[in-house]
Amino acid sequence: MNRILFFLSIIIFSIFLGSQITEGLLLVPYWKSLSKTEFYEYYSKFGPLIGRFYTILTIIATLIPISISVYCFFNKLRALKYSAVSSFFAFLIITIFYIYFKGTNQQFYGASFDVNQLKSVLKGWEFMHWLRVLFEIISLVFLIITLNILDKKKETIDT
Protein backbone atom coordinates (compact mmCIF):
# COMPACT_ATOMS: atom_id res chain seq x y z
CA MET A 1 0.00 0.00 0.00
CA ASN A 2 1.28 3.48 -0.64
CA ARG A 3 1.63 6.48 1.63
CA ILE A 4 -0.89 8.60 -0.25
CA LEU A 5 -3.54 5.96 0.41
CA PHE A 6 -2.44 5.78 4.07
CA PHE A 7 -2.70 9.54 4.54
CA LEU A 8 -5.99 9.73 2.67
CA SER A 9 -7.42 7.00 4.90
CA ILE A 10 -6.34 8.82 8.05
CA ILE A 11 -7.58 12.17 6.73
CA ILE A 12 -11.04 10.82 5.87
CA PHE A 13 -11.41 9.07 9.21
CA SER A 14 -10.15 12.21 11.00
CA ILE A 15 -12.69 14.39 9.16
CA PHE A 16 -15.38 11.99 10.34
CA LEU A 17 -14.10 12.16 13.92
CA GLY A 18 -13.78 15.95 13.76
CA SER A 19 -17.33 16.30 12.48
CA GLN A 20 -18.58 14.13 15.34
CA ILE A 21 -16.69 16.24 17.89
CA THR A 22 -18.15 19.37 16.29
CA GLU A 23 -21.63 17.90 16.53
CA GLY A 24 -21.07 17.13 20.21
CA LEU A 25 -19.62 20.54 21.03
CA LEU A 26 -21.89 22.74 18.91
CA LEU A 27 -25.10 21.05 17.81
CA VAL A 28 -25.99 19.12 20.95
CA PRO A 29 -25.64 22.12 23.31
CA TYR A 30 -27.66 24.17 20.82
CA TRP A 31 -30.38 21.53 20.72
CA LYS A 32 -30.46 21.41 24.51
CA SER A 33 -30.92 25.21 24.62
CA LEU A 34 -34.04 25.12 22.43
CA SER A 35 -37.59 24.88 23.66
CA LYS A 36 -39.47 21.70 22.79
CA THR A 37 -41.27 23.40 19.89
CA GLU A 38 -38.09 25.02 18.55
CA PHE A 39 -36.20 21.75 18.77
CA TYR A 40 -38.82 19.80 16.85
CA GLU A 41 -39.07 22.54 14.21
CA TYR A 42 -35.28 22.59 13.88
CA TYR A 43 -35.04 18.81 13.71
CA SER A 44 -37.81 18.46 11.13
CA LYS A 45 -36.08 21.09 8.97
CA PHE A 46 -32.41 20.07 9.34
CA GLY A 47 -32.54 16.50 10.66
CA PRO A 48 -32.73 14.88 7.20
CA LEU A 49 -29.77 16.91 5.94
CA ILE A 50 -27.71 16.13 9.06
CA GLY A 51 -28.69 12.48 8.75
CA ARG A 52 -27.61 12.21 5.11
CA PHE A 53 -24.31 13.96 5.82
CA TYR A 54 -23.43 11.68 8.73
CA THR A 55 -24.69 8.53 7.02
CA ILE A 56 -22.38 9.02 4.04
CA LEU A 57 -19.41 10.06 6.16
CA THR A 58 -19.93 7.23 8.67
CA ILE A 59 -20.13 4.58 5.97
CA ILE A 60 -17.02 5.83 4.19
CA ALA A 61 -15.02 6.22 7.41
CA THR A 62 -15.96 2.86 8.91
CA LEU A 63 -15.23 1.02 5.66
CA ILE A 64 -11.61 2.18 5.86
CA PRO A 65 -10.46 0.01 8.79
CA ILE A 66 -12.65 -2.87 7.62
CA SER A 67 -11.11 -2.73 4.13
CA ILE A 68 -7.61 -2.58 5.56
CA SER A 69 -8.38 -5.57 7.78
CA VAL A 70 -9.47 -7.55 4.74
CA TYR A 71 -6.26 -6.52 2.98
CA CYS A 72 -4.16 -7.59 5.99
CA PHE A 73 -6.06 -10.86 6.32
CA PHE A 74 -5.59 -11.93 2.71
CA ASN A 75 -1.96 -10.89 2.71
CA LYS A 76 -1.32 -12.50 6.12
CA LEU A 77 0.22 -9.34 7.53
CA ARG A 78 1.09 -8.86 11.18
CA ALA A 79 -0.82 -5.55 11.14
CA LEU A 80 -4.02 -7.63 11.08
CA LYS A 81 -4.43 -7.66 14.86
CA TYR A 82 -4.31 -3.85 14.98
CA SER A 83 -6.58 -3.43 11.99
CA ALA A 84 -9.01 -5.91 13.57
CA VAL A 85 -9.19 -3.77 16.72
CA SER A 86 -9.79 -0.68 14.58
CA SER A 87 -12.48 -2.55 12.66
CA PHE A 88 -14.09 -3.79 15.88
CA PHE A 89 -14.51 -0.22 17.13
CA ALA A 90 -15.71 0.88 13.68
CA PHE A 91 -18.31 -1.88 13.90
CA LEU A 92 -19.33 -0.59 17.36
CA ILE A 93 -19.83 2.88 15.85
CA ILE A 94 -22.31 1.43 13.36
CA THR A 95 -23.91 -0.82 15.98
CA ILE A 96 -24.58 2.08 18.35
CA PHE A 97 -26.27 3.93 15.53
CA TYR A 98 -28.67 1.08 14.85
CA ILE A 99 -29.27 0.19 18.49
CA TYR A 100 -29.75 3.71 19.81
CA PHE A 101 -29.58 6.64 17.41
CA LYS A 102 -31.79 5.39 14.60
CA GLY A 103 -34.82 4.86 16.82
CA THR A 104 -34.25 7.96 18.92
CA ASN A 105 -33.80 10.15 15.86
CA GLN A 106 -37.03 8.74 14.41
CA GLN A 107 -38.78 9.71 17.63
CA PHE A 108 -37.39 13.25 17.21
CA TYR A 109 -39.00 13.37 13.76
CA GLY A 110 -42.26 12.24 15.33
CA ALA A 111 -42.04 14.87 18.09
CA SER A 112 -42.66 12.00 20.50
CA PHE A 113 -41.33 13.47 23.74
CA ASP A 114 -42.81 15.98 26.14
CA VAL A 115 -40.59 18.73 27.59
CA ASN A 116 -39.12 16.68 30.45
CA GLN A 117 -38.68 13.55 28.36
CA LEU A 118 -36.95 15.55 25.62
CA LYS A 119 -34.46 17.03 28.09
CA SER A 120 -33.72 13.57 29.45
CA VAL A 121 -33.47 11.98 26.01
CA LEU A 122 -31.11 14.72 24.80
CA LYS A 123 -28.86 14.06 27.80
CA GLY A 124 -28.86 10.35 26.95
CA TRP A 125 -28.31 11.16 23.27
CA GLU A 126 -25.33 13.31 24.23
CA PHE A 127 -23.84 10.54 26.39
CA MET A 128 -24.22 7.97 23.62
CA HIS A 129 -22.74 10.42 21.14
CA TRP A 130 -19.61 10.93 23.26
CA LEU A 131 -19.33 7.17 23.76
CA ARG A 132 -19.35 6.83 20.00
CA VAL A 133 -16.69 9.54 19.71
CA LEU A 134 -14.54 7.57 22.17
CA PHE A 135 -14.90 4.47 19.98
CA GLU A 136 -14.00 6.57 16.93
CA ILE A 137 -10.83 7.80 18.65
CA ILE A 138 -9.84 4.26 19.57
CA SER A 139 -10.55 3.06 16.04
CA LEU A 140 -8.48 5.90 14.58
CA VAL A 141 -5.54 5.23 16.91
CA PHE A 142 -5.46 1.56 15.89
CA LEU A 143 -5.90 2.53 12.26
CA ILE A 144 -2.84 4.78 12.51
CA ILE A 145 -0.86 1.98 14.20
CA THR A 146 -1.94 -0.42 11.43
CA LEU A 147 -0.94 1.93 8.66
CA ASN A 148 2.36 2.67 10.36
CA ILE A 149 3.14 -1.06 10.53
CA LEU A 150 2.16 -1.49 6.89
CA ASP A 151 4.34 1.47 5.93
CA LYS A 152 7.32 0.08 7.87
CA LYS A 153 6.83 -3.26 6.13
CA LYS A 154 6.99 -1.49 2.78
CA GLU A 155 10.19 0.29 3.78
CA THR A 156 11.88 -2.97 4.72
CA ILE A 157 10.85 -4.59 1.43
CA ASP A 158 12.08 -1.61 -0.61
CA THR A 159 15.48 -1.41 1.12
pLDDT per residue as tens digits for the range 54-112: 999 999 999 999 999 999 999 999 999 999 999 999 999 999 999 999 999 999 999 99
CA angle 134, 11, 49 (to 5 degrees): 70
In a domain, 62, yes or no: yes
In a domain, 159, yes or no: no
In a domain, 65, yes or no: yes
What pLDDT is attached to residue 36?
97
What pLDDT is attached to residue 154?
58
Helix, strand, coil tally for the chain in percent (to 5): 90, 0, 10
Q: State the residue range of the domain holding 49.
A: 3-154
How many domains are there within the chain?
1
In a domain, 131, yes or no: yes
Q: How many helices (H) and strands (E) does the chain have?
A: 6, 0
The pLDDT of 10-35, averaged and rounded, is: 97
Length of the chain: 159
- Burial class of 18 by CB neighbour count within 10 A (0 to 12, 13 to 18, 19+): exposed
The pLDDT of 125-132, averaged and rounded, is: 98
In a domain, 88, yes or no: yes
Distance CA 91, CA 20 (A): 16
Q: What is the pTM of this model?
A: 0.91
